[in-house]
A = this chain, B = another copy of it.
């Protein structure tokens, strides 16, 4: 058994397809088949069911994957730890960020990069649940998202700040002077959702639904800056976490019916080596905590 084989196995498990997995591993399908078979022989257990032209993980495979994952993680933790000994002169930090927190993230990253110019940053934007899944697969060091439930004991949660949801409009819109707005008023407005598929989107739809309202979302855009550009035109309104917005041409108007605030938080895995770079990034982040991204 070698770490190489464990890595091959996990990739095959992830994709349920040897050909694809081989591609991602930069080896041939032939090699992958052989290495998996070799592993199976050593373990004296089939890891995949070969049913017809497809492979599916066996129960044994699923159980074994846990251990394989951890074995690999420990070896990599060891490596990270050593690279930390070299005083943050090297290493990579992989951070998942949800769209609404990109402002906070970019500010923090800017500062972090000046302090630790030798650390490579990999940022992955995506939906919270996806990011958290990647975190669990050890593909990320930490994620920056809005309030996932904080009850999973395998994670460590660091709340950063709370921020309410607000309607975003152009400063030139008829609503720009309003101090607050109701969902009912908003129902008739041309709305633009900038967080489709994200948890914030879910919270918004639920709030409307709760009041029996059926707003029409005229547009969906998976990028907040672009969405904000469009809102500036005055043709649309959007709903976002208030702190995601800071622009002289835009105003945020509190929505009275949505009480629930979104909590921005940093999440990382329990029980794994915490790279120094992780702690350093967290510190930087906390300095910006009250500016709310």
Out of B45, B70, B86, which one reaches A74, CB within 8 Å? B70
Query: Which residues on the B side are within 8 Å of A79 (C-beta)?
Result: 1, 42-43, 67
Chain A interface residue count, CB cutoff 8 Å, equals 30
Residues of A contacting B: mostly: helix
A287 at the interface (CB under 8 A from B): no
Contact at B6–A83, with CB atoms within 8 Å?
no
Docked pose: A31 CA to B86 CA in angstroms: 28
Stretch at the interface among A58-66, A221-229, A277-285: A58-66
* CB nearest to A59 among chain B residues: B85
Copies of this chain present: 2
A246 at the interface (CB under 8 A from B): no
* CB nearest to A84 among chain B residues: B63
Residue interface bits A1-42, CB-to-B below 8 A is 1, else 0: 111101000000000000000000000000000000000001
Docked pose: A86 CA to B46 CA in angstroms: 12
Contact at A44–B75, with CB atoms within 8 Å?
no
Query: Which residues on the B side are within 8 Å of A60 (C-beta)?
Result: 82, 85
A71 at the interface (CB under 8 A from B): yes
Query: Which residues on the B side are within 8 Å of A74 (C-beta)?
Result: 67-68, 70-71, 74
Contact at A75–B81, with CB atoms within 8 Å?
no
Query: Which residues on the B side are within 8 Å of A43 (C-beta)?
Result: 78-79, 82
Out of B4, B64, B72, which one reaches A82, CB within 8 Å? B64
* CB nearest to A64 among chain B residues: B78
Interface residues, chain A, with chain B CB atoms under 8 Å away = 1-4, 6, 42-45, 60, 63-64, 66-68, 70-72, 74-75, 77-79, 81-83, 85-86, 90, 273
Q: A66-B78, A67-B273 are in contact. List 4 more A-B contacts (CB 8 A).
A: A43-B79, A63-B85, A68-B75, A71-B75
Query: Can you list 13 A-B pairs, Cβ within 8 angstroms, ordered by A?
Result: A1-B75, A3-B71, A45-B82, A60-B85, A63-B82, A64-B81, A64-B82, A67-B77, A67-B78, A67-B81, A68-B74, A71-B71, A71-B74
